[in-house]
Amino acid sequence: MSAGGFLGWLALAVLAPGAAHLRAGRRRTGLVLLSCHAAGLLALLAVALTTDNLLGMLTEDSWLIAIAAGSAVLGLAWFALIVHSFTVLRPNALSQGGQVLTGIFAGLLAVVVVLPFGLTAEYVWTSQQTLNDIFVNPTPDPRAEERVRPENPWAGRQRVNILLLGGDAAGDRAGVRTDSMNLASIDVRTGSTVLISLPRNLENVRFRPGTPMARRFPAGFRLPADPGGGRSDLLNSVWEYSDAHPEIFGGRQHQGPKVLMDTIGYTLGLDVDWYALVNMWGFARLIDAIGGVTLSVEQDVVFGTYNEGLVKQGTRRLKGEDAMWYARSRTNSDDYTRMRRQRCVLGALLDQADPATVLTRFTQIALATKELIKTDIPRPMLKHLVPLALQVKNARVTSMQFVPPLISTGYPDWQKIRYLTAKAIRDSGATGPVAASAAPSPTSSATSSPTSSPASSPASPRASSPGSTPASTPKSGLGGTPRKSATPSPTQELTEGCGAL
């Protein structure tokens, strides 16, 4: 056998284990190896074709551990196969130069064959550790258990509502100040999503009647002004205040997430299922992990204590720190401009985090994600959310921002907020552009009383589904039905308006 033929049979043994043994005359061994290889491929195909929700199952601990262990074993087996195939082909029958050439090739081939199995084992093990660090259930929660139905978690439901928060903790205060608050309402059948943004500076926030915070603040969340004139009783302070005052909750600690979820759900007329808190500077590390994000910066954005930083105007790829300053800088910007820029960063990240990027930078992304997210989503629920997330990726995502002039943040019209929320969810089921329709009077928020409460409109659990009746109807002036106008719906595409002056 020539050196070229030797190398060809050795390479064929990688794809068809046992081929080299058949060439060497070891018929029984070769057939056994080929049969085992074929049986393994058929078994994998059967699993892929018969397993419901395969991608979701791949988030389960048992599957991840089995895949990691199996990859390690198969990598060693293929390494041994190449070495043994090299041996049975009798390289000593070749010339000295042929022996050197085939020996080097066999060594390189054995290493190359092991690499995919090793990387698979590493990626899977990293995934398992990351998921277990993020999605935890430290204490049994009957409410969470009720939602995790193994057979069909979405039975009888049309939407899932997840509160997406952005914030950071400071060493001199308890809890977290949530400067970005978005609720994603997802249609479990189509993946169509409405992203509802609430401003951080929403005042006189109302709490669900009968709750400890409602008893403490029956007329709305109101505290004396800070010594510097600022306020610590805005919507973004609810989590922080709740964590700092466990006495309100009978001494129970860390009630901030639960209170904020219930408060935002009550404000919008929805039932919030879970929350996910993103550490804003951890988010910057995630952007760096995927290699940056391309954004159209509509005008120069100045940042820093002394305005020493600058994100220049134009379309460019930003690293994580610059992307976060673009989203969060308050210099020459109001809260509503920042909300729009945050939406643009989120939309760009969703568009640009393609599977190829995630795969090639997997370890960096996993490490950044562990530092990034805090959530109460139960670990067993993850396998059901994965296919839903894939639907969202390819579905219509619209957004609504409750900012002036749509509402007054100082004296919010709670009924109007609920009405528009229900309408946005209902319209998200439309296949075409959102048409102009009946809308509340623009003067509604301006004329509403600072003591008006959402209590006058009962909460609608889970939100009305597309086609259902809104939970409440805003009033025009002192009473009556909403006036019809030609004002278009305030909902918009996620990246609409991004990059525009």
Residues 320 and 196 in one domain: yes
Question: What is the C-alpha separation between 491 and 305, in angstroms, rounded?
Answer: 35
**154 membership: H or E segment, kind and range:** none
- Whether residue 424 is contained in a domain is answered as no
Is 465 contained in some domain? Answer: no
Q: What is the DSSP string of 409-448?
A: SSS--HHHHHHHHHHHHHHTT-SSPPPP-----TTHHHHS
* Number of folded domains that form the chain: 2
| Burial annotation 46-70 (CB, 10 A radius, 16+ → b, else e) | eeeeeeeeeebeebbeebbeebbee
- Measured in residues, the chain has a length of 501
Q: ∠ CA(142), CA(145), CA(147), 5° rounding?
A: 115
Helices and strands (H and E) in the chain: how many: 18, 11
Q: What's the pLDDT score for residue 39?
A: 94
194 to 162, 186, 206, 433, 494: CA distances (angstroms): 11, 7, 23, 14, 9
| One domain for residues 218 and 335 | yes
Q: What is the pLDDT of residue 489?
A: 56
Residue 385 lies in a domain: yes
Cα–Cα distance, 431 to 51 (Å, whole number): 32
Candidates 399, 391, 401; CA nearest to 427 is 399
122 and 166, same domain (yes or no): no
The string of DSSP letters for 49-68 reads HH-TTHHHHTTSHHHHHHHH
Instruction: Identify the three-state secondary structure at position 375.
Output: strand
Residue at 126 is within a domain: yes
Nearest to 419 by CA among 458, 471, 456, 467: 471
Q: Residue for token digits 């001494």?
A: 251
CATH number for 275: 3.40.630.190
pLDDT, residue 259, reads 96
Other residues' Cβ atoms within 10 Å of the Cβ of residue 27: 11
The strand ranges marked E within 199-346 are 274-279, 293-297, 301-303, 309-311, 314-318
Residues 40 and 383: their CA atoms lie apart, in Å, by: 25
Q: Any idea which residue has 């003067």 for tokens?
A: 443
Query: Omega of the bond prior to 466 within 30 degrees of 0, cis?
Result: no
What is the rounded distance in angstroms from the CA atom of residue 307 to the CA atom of residue 325? 12
Is residue 41 domain-shared with residue 187, that is, in the same domain?
no
Q: What residues contact 215, with CB distance under 8 A and at least 6 apart? A: none
Same domain flag for 252 and 389: yes
Sole residue written with tokens 């791949």: 58
Question: In Å, how far are 18, 28, 436 from 34, measured between CA atoms?
Answer: 5, 10, 66
Among residues 70, 105, 134, the one where a domain terminates is: 134
Dihedral pair phi/psi, residue 132, rounded to 5°:
-70, -30
Is residue 270 in some structural domain?
yes
269 and 205 in a common domain: yes
Contact 210, 228 (CB under 8 A): no
178 shares a domain with 64: no
This prediction has a pTM of 0.69
Strand segments, DSSP code E, in 241-313 are 274-279, 293-297, 301-303, 309-311
Tell me whether residue 272 is in a domain. yes
Give the end of a domain, one of 387, 409, 431.
Answer: 409
Residue 448 resides in a domain: no
pLDDT computed for residue 80 by the predictor = 92
Which amino acid is residue 483, in one-letter code? Answer: R
* pLDDT tens for the chain, residues 1 to 501: 788 888 889 899 889 998 989 988 899 999 999 999 999 999 999 998 988 888 888 888 899 999 999 999 999 999 999 999 998 888 888 888 888 898 898 889 989 999 999 999 988 988 888 888 888 764 555 554 454 455 678 888 899 999 999 886 554 445 578 888 999 999 998 899 999 999 989 999 999 999 999 999 999 999 988 887 778 899 999 999 999 999 999 999 999 999 999 999 999 999 999 999 988 777 788 888 888 888 888 888 888 766 778 888 888 888 888 888 888 787 877 777 877 887 788 778 777 776 666 766 777 777 777 777 889 998 888 888 888 888 887 888 888 989 889 999 999 999 999 999 999 999 887 644 333 233 333 333 333 333 344 444 433 445 443 334 333 334 333 333 343 444 445 665 666 667 654
Is 233 inside a domain boundary?
A: yes
User: 88 lies in which domain range?
Assistant: 3-134
Whether residues 289 and 396 share a domain: the answer is: yes
Helix H segments across 311-402? Answer: 320-328, 335-352, 355-360, 362-372, 382-393
Do 239 and 377 have their domain in common? Answer: yes
- CA-nearest of 451, 449, 437 to 482 is 437
Running DSSP on this structure, what letter comes out for residue 184? E
Residues 160 and 210 in one domain: yes
Phi, psi of 153 (to 5 degrees): -70, -15
Query: Of the residues 358, 393, 409, which one is the last residue of a structural domain?
Result: 409
404 and 313 within one domain: yes
The torsion angles phi and psi of 415, rounded to 5 degrees, stand at -65, -40
Same domain, 200 and 229: yes
Taking every pair of Cα atoms in the chain, the longest distance, rounded to a whole number of angstroms, is: 101
How many other C-beta atoms are found inside a 10 Å radius of the C-beta of residue 325?
Answer: 20
